[in-house]
Amino acid sequence: GGQLDLVFSCFQRALRLALSAEQKADVWYNISFIGLQIGDLDFARRCCRICISLDGGHASALNNL
């Protein structure tokens, strides 16, 4: 739990560095996985929806929804 500040700053950097929509979708999927791990299902669901909006065929995000 104490590492969440570090994790989210790393994900912010990853989103800034992602060049394609597919890369951004992968980052959002990974963020949703963190949401699942901390038990925030609403947050994870929103991240998966953002992922799918960037890459409609992202199978892992579709599966998690």
pLDDT tens track, the chain, 65 positions: 568 888 889 999 999 999 999 999 999 999 999 999 989 999 999 999 999 999 999 999 999 98
Closest C-alpha among 58, 59, 3 to residue 34: 3
Q: Give the per-residue pLDDT at 1.
A: 56
Q: Using CA atoms, how far apart are residues 17 and 60, in angstroms rounded to an integer?
A: 22
Q: What is the pTM of this model?
A: 0.90
pLDDT at res. 8: 87
**How big, in percent rounded to 5, are the helix, strand and coil portions of the chain?**
80, 0, 20
- Three-class DSSP category at 27: helix
pLDDT of residue 57: 94
